[in-house]
Structure 1
Amino acid sequence: MRFYPLLFEPILKERIWGGTKLKSYLNKPIISEITGESWEISTIENDISIVSNGDFKGKSLNELINEFPKEILGSKVYVAFGKQFPLLFKYLDAREDLSIQLHPNDELAKKRHNSFGKTEMWYVMQADNDAELIVGFKKKSSPEEYTQHLKDKTLLNILDTKKVQNGDVFFLATGTIHAIGAGNVIAEIQQTSDITYRVYDFDRVDANGNKRELHNDLALEAINYDTVEAQRTYSKIENSANEIVNCQYFTTNFIPLNGQMSIQKTKDSFTVFMCVDNHFELICDGETYVYQKGDTVLIPAFLTDFQLNGKASILEIYIS
């Protein structure tokens, strides 16, 4: 069997806060003016990614993993997760502020939802002037203080707001209260989980006049009331893998490609490349594959030697 770099059909999600930048900025085939998310690689139930290129075109990622678990996932990932793809990759367009929310840890998520928790990171691909993110509390809080501010609709007074620009990175451990502000296009890497506890949504209503569901009772036990240092600084050495995040769930490097770069891997883990600016070529087994901004490509673990060529900003993700 010949393995090759895999692309997938984007799974597009309408959101009350979504817009049109996924098309204008990332060339996604959206048909709605409130498209908030493009799920690039997913094995969430009812949202399974389908291969869009090559011999495996039309097959689902789950089908491939079931048939070739070690070749796709890698031997180390297979031992740890079995035939489960452990990560979810997305692009998000926030035309308006997202709800204030958080995600439970593995223990709570397993107990309540039979799911992984949701540790995640954000890479800011494009930020309008004065675009912001909310990440954690300004100072150490408590369930009592938090609950009172929620009741008084003054929650924003105790949350930490960060002005952001292109290239900023935030790592969000489970329990961190957070929100993506209006005017951001974000690349998101996270555990395979769709468990979100929404705690405040600015009293918005949908087209039918209904408010979205909140999960305040579930959230109380899941929140981290300490302050967090979520923003990551990182090097930008050309043609090198500059580490941004290295946690038990994933490692993410930033590659500022300018020319050629050779990459050698073991067969321990798959690799994912998210092209967050410009375009590049990937040369593997004598074949050349071309990717542009907004493409997300899965390199099966079976492929260990390849070359990158071009001028691009790339996120490299794998499990170490």
Structure 2
Amino acid sequence: MRKPGYELHPVIEISGCDDAVIVGYEKMVETIRETKHRIVVCDVYPGVDTKQVVHALSALHPVVVVDTSDLLKPLPILETQFSRNITDDRVFGFMSHHVIESCFDEAKLNSARELVASTDSAVVLIVGVGASLVSCSGLLLYFDLTRWEIQKRYAQDLPNWLADNPKADALEKFKRGYFLEWRIADRHKISLFDSVAWFIDTHENDHPKMIAGDVLRDAIAAVATRPFRMEPYFNPGVWGGQWMKQHFGLPNEAPNYAWCFDGIVEENCINLEFGGEIIKIPANNVVFSKPHELLGEKVHGRYGLEFPIRFDLLDTMGGGNLSLQVHPLTEYIQQEFGMHYTQDESYYILDAGDESVVYLGVKNDCDKETMLADLDAAEHAGASFPVQAYVNAFPVQKHDHILIPAGTIHCSGKDTMVLEISATPYIFTFKLWDWGRLGLDGQPRPVHLAHGKRNIQWDRDTDWVKAQLLEQAHTVSRNPDYEIEQTGLHIREPIITFRYTVRTACPVIMDDSVQVLNLVEGERALITSPSNAFAPFEVHYAQTFIIPASVREYCIIAPDDDPVILICAQIR
């Protein structure tokens, strides 16, 4: 058993800004007052506690307080307006392309603007999502929050921004955020980003931290020039295992840990350290602010302001099988859910038990109609689905890389530790069979057989899978110092992966694409710059990290006596 070296709260040190962070509302009020601005605009990301913001900033003694939630269209009108995006499905909606103005009552918005404009020589406070729509003058503050923190607040009865649903199902709240609210809020944040005077980290409600906009923008620019890690988060699950708890030194309170999300830029945060004070910001802010530097020209050109690669860990060691599932074909995810590209995946086997398997593809001569009838009986009549009769179960061992283009039926079996290397869309899992079990909440987990049966590719049978998806690694370069192998992904998938086995040092020339890597063997490795463009970056076992395209070249160093192995993903 390794001594846990996995860093749970990685930080990125920003030098030369030791006194940049203002901590607490009292000092924030002092700083705002010193600016002598009459109009204070507090725009926020959905999920920020605006009541607390209003209460704390009442120390400015505003004569007018505008709460933007009072300016929204009536909720029934919003429900009708966004019904195509919200849908009546528990999990899936349709991606919104709305702008923030569409959420507000124009007459109410104009009245608020007139009120602010007519108030002379006194402080006016405007607070809420879209506050800058009321006034574009004055002091602009932006109160930010990561999506993972929002999800935790959903579990504590936070309603959605555009709904009065504090007791709603967690999946329903997430759906509204993912398909509607976060997309609108992101577009609005991007439009404001370069003009914000002060950013406020609100991850700790009673302990906000404020930093000047110019300082934060410079820090983000620095992040986009060097390797960095995001802060991981962990979730238990009905099939979860014990491997991460043992290897990462995680708390024992949870019965298991099923997921580690340490490579999902849309949801993770990065921790910026200024003179000992930590500012948490959504990692997506780096994409929004420095897309060319982070993604590279060809990736930005293809994906826009989206980070297209996702890494996460799936732990079934001592747990159970994942649900039998399939992901949508590209045309299906575009037409049904409004997404640009689909959830292509792969499983890199980080560790395995003696009987580890991956279920992948239908068996040769599988009868489609009989299999679908048995799946339907399992969903609606409570029958058990005979997985082994229809789906291949391939034994897997450590360092196997299993390719899973969308449309391929699959799941990881028990007693397997998977590093999932995939395209970024991550909720489009059509469960076909969940082994007759309930979720941790005591409710059946959603099965989407109607979607799934329209996406299963029946020609991906035993022979096809063996030829196309298993044992695809081949050597690209080998010498006494290192070996480079291409391990995937399948030609239908946009990601290409390389495995670096490094005995001493291995130089890497990047191909105008951001890279995401994980140290899959070895206690630690160093990433260094041939031109000393960044300080040596140390990564520990099983940690995921990002190398921006602007780095262009780097060197992988094995600093100890043993070789190290890293898996690297980039866009083709």
- Per the TM superposition, whether the score is higher than 0.5 is yes
Match for residue 515 of structure 2 among 271, 288, 296: 271
| Cα distance, 1:54–1:309 mapped onto 2, change above 3 Å | farther
Q: Are residue 243 (structure 1) and residue 475 (structure 2) matched? A: no
Deviation at 1:129, TM superposition (A): 0.9
Corresponding residue pairs, total? 316
Contact 1:8 1:53 (C-alpha < 8 Å) held by counterparts: no
Structure number with bigger Rg: 2
Larger fraction in strand = 1
CA-CA distance at 1:306 after TM superposition: 1.5
Aligned residue among 449, 456, 477 for 1:216: 449
Q: Aligned residue for 1:32?
A: 254
Q: Distance in 2 between matches of 1:57 and 1:5?
A: 18
CA RMSD of aligned residues (A): 2.1
Question: Can you give the 5+ residue segments of structure 2 that lack an aligned partner in the other structure?
Answer: 1-220, 378-382
**What runs of 5+ residues in structure 1 fail to find an aligned partner?**
none
Task: Describe the SS at the equivalent of 2:432.
Answer: strand
| 1:301 equivalent in alignment to 2:549 | yes
Q: Distance in 2 between matches of 1:57 and 1:114?
A: 34
Alignment-mate amino acid for residue 336 of structure 2: R
Pair 1:49 & 2:49 matched: no
2:567 aligned to 290, 311, 315, which one? 315
Once the two structures are TM-superposed, the CA of residue 213 in structure 1 deviates from its matched residue by: 1.5
For 1:208 and 1:121, the matched residues in 2 are separated by 28
Task: Give distance in 2, aligned partners of 1:23 and 1:100.
Answer: 25
**1:109 CA displacement:** 1.0
| TM value normalised by structure 1 | 0.92
Shift of residue 203 of structure 1? 0.8
The match for 1:82 is 304
Q: Which moved more, 1:68-77 or 1:88-97?
A: 88-97
Structure 1 residue 15: deviation in Å?
A: 1.2
Residue identity (%): 20
Task: Measure the CA separation in 2 of the matches of 1:286 and 1:109.
Answer: 40
| Residue 109, structure 1, aligned to residue 333, structure 2 | yes
Question: What one-letter code is carried by the residue in structure 1 that aligns with 2:270?
Answer: V
Which of 58, 69, 74 is residue 291 of structure 2 equivalent to?
Answer: 69
Answer 1 or 2: which has greater helix percent. 2
**1:31 Cα offset (Å):** 5.0
Query: SS at 2:325's partner residue?
Result: strand
CA shift, 1:309, in A, is 0.7
**Are residues 199 and 125 of structure 1, via their aligned partners in 2, closer, same or farther at CA, if it must alter by over 3 Å?**
same
Q: Which residue of 1 aligns with 2:433?
A: 200
After superposition, residues 125-164 of structure 1 pair within 5 angstroms as 125-150=350-375, 151=377, 153-164=385-396
Contact 1:12 1:30 in 2 (8 A): no
Q: Is the aligned partner of 1:12 residue 2:264?
A: no
Q: Residue 119 of structure 1 contacts residue 191 of structure 1 at CA under 8 Å; is this kept in 2?
A: yes
What is the alpha-carbon distance in structure 2 between the residues aligned to residue 157 and residue 57 of structure 1? 53
Distance 2:421 2:351 in 1: 16
The Cα of 1:295 is off from its aligned counterpart by 0.8
Greater relative contact order, per chain length (Cα 8 Å cut-off, separation 6+): 1
Query: Structure 1, residues 91-117: CA drift from partner, whole Å, max 9, x if none?
Result: 110121111111011111121122332
The DSSP-based 3-state class of the residue aligned with 1:165 is coil
SS in structure 2 opposite 1:117? coil
Give the Cα–Cα distance (whole angstroms) in 2 for the partners of residues 36 and 273 of structure 1.
21
Q: Residue 178 and residue 30 in structure 1: after superposition, are their counterparts in 2 closer, same or farther (change >3 A)?
A: farther
Partner Cα distance (1:84, 1:28) in 2: 31
The 3-state SS of whatever aligns with 2:502 is strand
**What are the superposed Cα offsets for residues 49-77 of structure 1, whole Å, 9 maximum, x if unpaired?**
21136679622221111111100011000
Q: Quote how far apart the aligned CAs of 1:6 are.
A: 1.2
Tell me the distance in 2 between the aligned counterparts of 1:317 and 1:28: 27
Q: Equivalent of 2:346, from 114, 117, 121?
A: 121
For the residues of structure 2 that align with 1:222 and 1:82, how far apart are their CA atoms?
Answer: 27
**Deviation by residue 1:269-298 (Cα, 9 ceiling, x = unmatched):** 111111111121111225111111111110
Could you tell me how far 1:38 is from its partner in structure 2? 0.8
Quote the Cα distance in structure 2 between the aligned partners of 1:9 and 1:209: 30
Match of 1:179 in 2: 411
Return the TM-score normalized by structure 2. Answer: 0.53
- For 2:237, what is the secondary structure of its paired residue? strand
